[in-house]
Each structure stands twice: as C-alpha cells, then as structure tokens.
Amino acid sequence: MLDEILPAKIANALDSISYNKICELRLRNDSPIVVDCLGKRYFLGEDSLLESNENALILGKGVLSSIVQKLSNNSLYSINDQLIDGYISYLGGVRVGVCGEVVSVDGVLKTIKNISSLNFRFPHYIKNCSLDLFSYIYANGGFKSTLIASPPGVGKTTYLRDIIYQLSKDDKLYNILVVDERQELTSIYNKESIIKFDNVDVYSNCSKKFAFNNGIRSMKPDIIITDEINIEKDIEDIENALTSGVVVFASIHASSVADLKNKTGFKEILSKKLFERFVFLSNEGGVCHIAGVYNQNLQFIGV
Amino acid sequence: MKIFLLFLLFLFFICVAICVWFLYYIRFLLYKDMVYISKYLKNNISFNKKDIKTLLSETSKNISIFTRNLVFDENRNVFYFKKSDIEYVNEFFDSLGKGDVSWERNNIDFYLNTFEDMKQESCDSLHKNGVVYFKLILGLGLALCVMLI
C-alpha cells in the first residue's frame, strides 16, 4: 500500500513482513528504521527484521520531506491543517505522525518544516473482537454509552472499528454516526483492498465539536462513535449528545482506573453519570483484550 | 501539367503559411489556457482543498489539446511550443503544492499576472506577426508561381 510513498528499498523490506504483524514504522532522519511488530520493536533490514542496528536500513537525508510531499499527493496545502496537528491521514486509515520544526507567525501555527521523523501507524481489523463486550453494553433493547480506555497502541481504534461493524450489520438499522476526526475508523486497508463500512454516516477530517453539533441536528443519529476524546475539550459536546438521547461510544488514553480518575474533568463525567460503561483494554492477553468492564460509578462488573 | 504542378506548389505555400500562423495561434491558446488553469486552481484550492492532480484533471475538458499534451502527457512531444514557454509553464507546475493555502494563492497570483501578460503579448503577436508572416508566405508563393509560369 505504501509502495508509492516509500523509497523502493524500504517498501520491499516491508513487503517481506506480514502486514498483520506491523503496528508502526518509524522513520527518522539519517537513522536506522524501526518497526513495531505486535508491540516488539525491531530494526528494519533489507529483507528481515533485525535485533541490532548493524545491517539495518538507514534513512537518507531529505527523504522524509519527499515522503511528506507524496503523502500529500504533491499538494501540501491539502493536508496542512492536519500537519499543524502533527499528523497526516493516509489511505486506508494509516495515520502518519509528524515531527519537525514548527513554524508559527504571530503565535499562530503555520506548518511544520524540516521534518525530522515520521511514525506510520497501520490500522488493523480484527473481526468480531468486540463481541464479548456486547453483553455488558446492551440491555433492555438499548445500548449503553461506553468509554473505552487503554494506553496507546493496545487496540482502542481496532475495538471501536469492530463495534462499528457489528452495529452497522444489525437488523435494527441503527443510525450510526461516526466522527472520524483522523480518518482512521471507517476506511481500513485489509491486505488487498480498502474496506468501507456500509450503513454508516461519517464525518471525517473535522473537529468533534463540529461533527457532534451538526450531526445531531442534521443526521438524527441513534449512536455516535468517536475516537480519542479529550475530556476537557469534548465534554460539552458529549454531554449535549448524551442528554439528547444519543448513545456515545468513545475512546480515551488511560491505562488504569486511577489514570482515568486523575484526568481533568473526569469527575464531572462521573458525577453526571454521562457514560454508563467504562471498558479497559490491555495487551496482556493479546491485542484488544478486555482487562475490565466498569459501571457508571466505576465499579468493576466483569471481564 | 505545368499549371497543376504550380497549383501544388502554391498549395504547399498555403500550408506553410497556415502552419506558421498556427504556431502563433497555439502559443496564444497556451497562455489563454494557463490563465484559465491558474484561475481555476486559485478558486478551488481554498474551497475544497482537492489535490493539484485532481484539480488539473477537472480543467482538462476546457483547455486545448495542445496545452493538454503539455500538462498531462508525460511522454509529450510538444515541439510546437517554444522552449522558453515550456520551461515557464513547467516552472509554474513545479512551484505548486509546496505551501499552505494562502501561500498557494499568492504563488498562483504571481504566475497568473505573468500568464495574463503573456496571453496579451501572444494575442498581439498573433494579430501582427502571425498575419504578416501568413501574407508574406502566401505572397512569396504567388510570386514564385507567377515567375514560373
């Protein structure tokens, strides 16, 4: 999939690794290339993964800028808003994190130049990985608003993606609105092609505020699904959705109940009982493994 | 037989005259198309942020085949354009896609002004030089035919 983006040597080396195993690809200026395979990091060799950097492929100078140009289809302006937020969305839900020198004029961020590193995060689709959760989030003919928490890279997005899939194929034909701020949730590369979910309304590449406000008014959703909320920034919009009778499935970065409790604004979520279920994922029992399900008072109710 | 050969000779001069006039005409078309492309890019870059390739392909049906060959055909054989014109147009396309929206609009504005000047200049050249050379070559052909009769 990245053959047109990456230099041939790197693309060929990646082709020798099973796509299902690759989670991340880290490219740094003038440094050995690092690949994260199922949570373990290796150096990328010409045709295999290496434990040491001795024969690792090294990224030449200036290559990163050309990769960014290609990621933008030679139209940097079309991705500059994303670039300012530190990432670029690419085909099939690939998210590319960008680091470099930030350019600002009069305190306003303009772009990132002299790009020094890129982090490609590859999406995966694990069909039916969320099925175990449905007994906790579905009761009396309705779904419970759920917040899925885990540290980065454990599978929140993969989990949400499967929830979208399960809901979209339900006979009840729910109105599902996906707020896909970073274009990761609904367009997914699956070895050979890009799968798009049917029966789902999608706002992509827009702020949650915009999507929540306009979506509720114009799309009349039963369920809103969104990724990586920021409690401080998004709580008002989520509260508005929940008090409008819409069920919300969202994810957040937090490794434990204590982490979640310490987040600014979380007390408000608890006191107002905005979410009825909290689900913690861990990678101890494999990707998308449920570590615990909690009720609206953050009391443990099962695994 | 002689008359027929002279007629063929005159026909040849007519063809040469048309070709010379046409070179001026397609140069005018090139800059007319470049003004259109620049305006189209400028208007659409800020509105829907489609990539350059998509926007260019949207302009293709409204530009002449000669310009289309220069813009889209990678193995282009555009002998009919002057080298300096080709270089300037390529310089424009190479400059696209390197900045944010406001930078792109300013950059396109810069080239648009030049393209408009070049369009005017090529239009004047078409009406002056193009027509003069056309008549001159026809006159030359006619004179040669008369001399050969």
Structural domain contains residue B75: no
User: Are B98 and A80 within 8 A, CB to CB?
Assistant: no
Number of domains chain B is built from: 1
Cα B107 to Cα A164: distance, rounded to the nearest angstrom: 43
What is the pLDDT at residue B74?
67
User: What are phi and psi for residue A138, nearest 5 degrees?
Assistant: -120, 125
Residues A176, A167 contacting (CB under 8 angstroms): yes
Q: Considering only alpha carbons, which residue of chain A is nearest residue B44?
A: A78
What is the pLDDT at residue A86?
92
Cα A214 to Cα A183: distance, rounded to the nearest angstrom: 18
pLDDT tier at A70, thresholds 50, 70, 90: very high
Asked whether the predicted pLDDT for residue A179 surpasses 80, the reply is: yes
pLDDT tier at A189, thresholds 50, 70, 90: low
Residue B81 DSSP symbol? S
Mean pLDDT, rounded, of chain A: 89
How far is B46 from chain A, CA to nearest CA, in Å?
Answer: 9
Provide, rounded to the nearest whole percent, the portion of chain A with pLDDT above 70. Answer: 97
Least confident of A179-183, A186-190, A281-285, B127-131: A186-190
User: Are B51 and A76 within 8 A, CB to CB?
Assistant: no
Asked whether the predicted pLDDT for residue B81 surpasses 70, the reply is: yes
**Per-residue three-class SS string for chain A:** CCCCCCCHHHHHHHHCCCHHHEEEEEEECCCECEEEECCEEEEECCCCEECCCCCCCECCCCHHHHHHHHHCCCCHHHCHHHHHCCEEEEHHHEEEEEEEEEEEECCEEEEEEEEEEEEEECCCCCCCCCHHHHHHHEECCEECCEEEEECCCCCHHHHHHHHHHHHHCCCCCCCEEEEECCCCCCEEEECCEEEECCCCEEEECCCHHHHHHHHHHHHCCCEEEECCCCHHHHHHHHHHHHCCCCEEEEEEECCCHHHHHHCCCHHHHHHCCCCCEEEEEECCCCCCEEEEEECCCCCEEEC
Asked whether the predicted pLDDT for residue A221 surpasses 90, the reply is: yes
Q: Considering only alpha carbons, which residue of chain B is nearest residue A66?
A: B98
Structural domain contains residue B38: yes
Q: Which residues of A touch B96 (CB under 8 A)?
A: 74-75
User: Are A74 and B50 within 8 A, CB to CB?
Assistant: no
What is the pLDDT at residue B25?
94
Asked whether the predicted pLDDT for residue B102 surpasses 70, the reply is: yes
How far out from the chain centre does Cα A112 lie?
22
Q: Could you report the per-residue pLDDT of A127-148, keeping only the tens digit for each?
A: 888 998 999 999 888 899 999 9
Residue B43 DSSP symbol? H
Query: Looking at this predicted complex, what is its ipTM?
Result: 0.78
User: Are B50 and A77 within 8 A, CB to CB?
Assistant: no
Q: Which residues on adjacent β-strands are paired with residue A94?
A: A90
Give the number of other CB atoms < 10 A from CB of residue A291: 18
What is the pLDDT at residue A253?
93
Q: Which residues contact A282 (CB under 8 A, 6 or more apart)?
A: A150, A154, A289, A291
Least confident of A66-75, A119-128, B68-77, B137-146: B68-77
Structural domain contains residue B120: yes
| Amino acid identity, position B102 | S
Q: Token match 């813009």: residue?
A: B71
Chains A, B: CB contacts within 8 A come to 40
What is the pLDDT at residue A164?
92
Least confident of A97-111, A115-129, A190-204: A190-204
pLDDT tier at A29, thresholds 50, 70, 90: very high
Asked whether the predicted pLDDT for residue B95 surpasses 90, the reply is: yes
Asked whether the predicted pLDDT for residue A85 surpasses 60, the reply is: yes
Cα angle vertex A31, ends A57, A109, to 5°?
Answer: 130
Delineate the domains of chain A, giving CATH numbers in brackets: 8-121 (3.30.450), 131-302 (3.40.50.300)
Cα A276 to Cα A272: distance, rounded to the nearest angstrom: 10
User: How large is the average pLDDT for residues A236-265?
Assistant: 91
pLDDT tier at A172, thresholds 50, 70, 90: confident
Asked whether the predicted pLDDT for residue A191 surpasses 60, the reply is: no
Residues A98, A83 contacting (CB under 8 angstroms): yes
What is the pLDDT at residue A192?
59
Domain, as residue range, for B104 = 2-70+80-148
Asked whether the predicted pLDDT for residue B137 surpasses 90, the reply is: yes
What is the pLDDT at residue B75?
63
Residues of A with a Cβ under 8 Å from any B Cβ are 69, 72-78, 80, 110-111
**From A73, A77, A110, residue closest to B53, measured CB to CB:** A73
Residues of B with a Cβ under 8 Å from any A Cβ are 45, 49-53, 96-101, 103-104
User: What are phi and psi for residue A57, nearest 5 degrees?
Assistant: -70, 135
Structural domain contains residue B116: yes
Q: Which residues of B touch A110 (CB under 8 A)?
A: 100
Q: Considering only alpha carbons, which residue of chain A is nearest residue B50?
A: A78
How far is A2 from chain B, CA to nearest CA, in Å?
Answer: 18
Asked whether the predicted pLDDT for residue A43 surpasses 90, the reply is: yes
What is the pLDDT at residue A124?
83
